[in-house]
Chains A and B, each alone.
Chain A
Amino acid sequence: MTTIFGIPLQAFLGQLLIGLINGSFYALLSLGLAIIFGLLRVINFAHGAQYMLGAFVAWLLLSHFGIGYWPTLILAPLLVGFLGAVIERTMLRRLYSLDPLYGLLFTFGLALTVEGTFRYLYGSSGQPYATPALLAGGTNLGFMFLPIYRGWVIAFSLAVCLGTWLVIEKTKLGSYLRAATENPVLVQSFGINVPFLLTLTYGLGAALAALAGVLAAPIYQVSPLMGSNIIIIVFAVVVVGGMGSIMGAIITGYMLGVAEGLTKVFYPEASNIVIFVIMAFVLLIRPAGLFGRDA
């Protein structure tokens, strides 16, 4: 049998694919974080809670209103995005003039409050969410058994990541957003409503997190802890990619997912720290991150 580094080729390919699947979640989540940081200069620690909210909204819609996976894929990000916009408008906005540390502390407190409330209401062992019938089952790829749902996660999140990148880099709305972060006063003097743009951006970031949450619901237990488990990793992804770099966040998300997947084969005990080891190395060599611009 062909082997790579002592691992059978089939197992190696399988792990590579698994890494890409986890990378999809990292990419989607770090994308939202990068957008919020890039445009608002807010380190959004509530991102994990918004991801968890997305999954919980999916579960609540299904168990209380019988609304299935497909409508939820749109409804949950809308709801959580709206909630994000309200939070930005009523609370987060007041902190823009202060040190960025205040935004971090505020969103961190918000995350703890939301997670604590859900843990109180629903416990820690989580709620089950079934895979949608259309995507149930799996196919044998020869080197591994690929659950169809996981394949869908890769394809869908790639599409969403690229779509978001296109909107920000190539459309008029995107150019307003980018201009508003460079020089808000000047952009405002052209008659563009900058505060509204910022609200929209935070809402979009929250919606992306919620979308990742809905995608995750059939794979993981829908648990109040799911956000805090993943958020620290996602922050490392953003730092490695370069704070605020959107394409950097996407590519790094997939890369680190694969790196983590391979660590699980070679030395599983280190799988939860490998990303941070990489982060430390990158910070030593390129403090601005792999795709970041030197300030």
Chain B
Amino acid sequence: MHKNLIATLALMLASSTAALADASDGRVKIGILNDQSGVYADFGGKSSYEAALMAVEDFGGKVLGVPVEVVTADHQNKPDIASNIARQWYDTEQVDSIMELTTSSVALAVQAISKEKKKVNIVTGAATTELTGKQCSPYGFHWAYDTHSLAVGTGGALVKQGGDSWFFLTADYAFGYSLEENTANFVKENGGSVVGAVRHPLATTDFSSFLLQAQSSGAKVIGLANAGLDTSNAIKQAAEFGIVQGGQRLAALLFTLAEVHGLGLEAAQGLTLTEGFYWNRDEESAKFGKRFMERTGKMPNMVHAGTYSAVLQYLKAIEKAGSDDADAVAKELHALPVNDVFAQNGTVAPNGRMIHDMYLLEVKKPDESKEPWDYFKVLATIPGKDAFIDPAQSGCDLVKS
């Protein structure tokens, strides 16, 4: 009886590993893992999955003669759920690479798993510079933006305009700290000061307490080191408490087209923000934007366009490497220049950071907007080398070797 049981188990194990080897040879499978139901569902969400599908179609649906498949799941902004899905995808569902990964705590967790299992992961939705800093991975890539580039863009623009004292409203987790720290350092380097900060839980609805503290601090700029619905609610309530009329400026450090659309131009007008992509910037980006619009009903922000770019580049790297083996693909990803609708002449640094231009944008007034989703004026282009941390200074041990 016992012998039978053990024999059956052994057979089952043997057959499942055999199936695994066959399947991973027979197709390339990409997993899009992000928040599809919480505060960041518009920031990336299901539309990022759509962007990945567009990239696969534009590439022809096949690489090295095998079909490319995209799967997706909702991690609910919880690192434990995300880790379970990532392990399941890698171990039993033959997923070759996980991408998007909105929410920094999740991205860090999944990058660690990918490193352990020798799989390529490309982060477009999360912001923390830790991903290409101390916690960098030879198989990990950070594609669309990071907290440093947001600090340089939005922080830099406001310091230049005389905003030299700051108070931070910071989301109480890895991303918020990273964004606050990067921006605070940048402000101080440029002769400014930070007069205070307050940490709020993720998905706070009422910001009035925090806004009052910011108001009484007397800081010239209130830095919103949060994202998604949190930032929208903070901006809306800041208007209510007369903060902008009182002479203080709001800096939405991570704010994209998706949130501007939700907030409306009336409330969002005049905000300065930084993105890695704007659909109405040139002809090619507008063409991409309209195709995306037809499929999702909305225009893409940098997370969506970044995910498109990441999937496309991953497939190019597989083709160049002639294999979907993670070591070979990672080598090509590091070597190939990135040229698509998202990035022009982008390069990938040894720490996994994709270095490309970022854009400093201003939200238009309602009467300046000529068509739906025409929301931004491009104030400046921030060259990649200024926007991102010098890889040698990033703290990533892959750079020295």
Interface set of A (CB-CB < 8 Å, partner B): 8, 10-11, 14-15, 18, 21-22, 116, 119, 123-128, 130-131, 138, 144-145, 147, 149-150, 219-221, 223, 225-226, 229-230, 261, 264-265, 268-269, 271-272
Which one of B205, B209, B241 lies within 8 Å of A145 (CB-CB)?
B241
Q: Is B209 in contact with A15, judged by CB distance below 8 angstroms? A: yes
Give the chain A neighbours of B39 by CB distance below 8 A: 124, 225
A-B CB proximity, top 6 nearest: A125-B262, A124-B41, A264-B209, A128-B264, A125-B42, A272-B201
Give the chain A neighbours of B172 by CB distance below 8 A: 268-269
* CB contacts between A and B, total, < 8 Å: 116
Question: In the complex, which residue of chain A has the Cβ closest to the Cβ of B201?
Answer: A272
Interface residues of B in 58-114 (CB under 8 A from A): none
Question: In the complex, which residue of chain B has the Cβ closest to the Cβ of A8?
Answer: B216
Q: Is A264 in contact with B262, judged by CB distance below 8 angstroms? A: no
Q: In the bound complex, how far is the Cα of B210 from the Cα of A124, in angstroms?
A: 23
Q: Is A150 in contact with B240, judged by CB distance below 8 angstroms? A: yes
Q: Could you list 24 examples of A-B contacts with CB < 8 Å?
A: A10-B216, A116-B37, A119-B41, A123-B262, A124-B42, A124-B228, A124-B229, A125-B258, A125-B262, A126-B229, A128-B262, A144-B212, A147-B240, A150-B240, A221-B262, A223-B262, A230-B205, A264-B210, A265-B213, A268-B198, A268-B199, A268-B209, A271-B201, A271-B209
Check if B266 is an interface residue, CB within 8 A of chain A.
yes
Q: Is B40 in contact with A221, judged by CB distance below 8 angstroms? A: no
Give the chain A neighbours of B263 by CB distance below 8 A: 125, 128, 221
Q: A18-B212, A150-B208, A272-B204 are in contact. List 18 more A-B contacts (CB 8 A).
A: A18-B208, A18-B209, A124-B42, A125-B229, A125-B261, A125-B263, A127-B262, A128-B267, A138-B240, A145-B246, A220-B205, A220-B206, A220-B233, A221-B233, A221-B236, A221-B262, A261-B209, A268-B198
Q: In the bound complex, how far is the Cα of B38 from the Cα of A116, in angstroms?
A: 11
Q: How far is the CB of A269 from chain B (nearest CB, A)?
A: 5
Q: In the bound complex, how far is the Cα of B259 from the Cα of A269, in angstroms?
A: 25
Given A225-B38, A271-B200, also A147-B209 (CB < 8 A): no
Question: In the complex, which residue of chain A has the Cβ closest to the Cβ of B204?
Answer: A272
Interface residues of B in 173-205 (CB under 8 A from A): 198-201, 203-205
Q: Is B212 in contact with A14, judged by CB distance below 8 angstroms? A: yes
Given A11-B213, A18-B212, A126-B229, also A119-B262 (CB < 8 A): no
Residue of B45, B240, B263 with most partner-chain A CB within 10 A: B240
Given A123-B262, A229-B203, A269-B199, also A221-B210 (CB < 8 A): no
Q: Is A268 in contact with B216, judged by CB distance below 8 angstroms? A: no
Give the chain B neighbours of A128 by CB distance below 8 A: 236, 262-264, 266-267
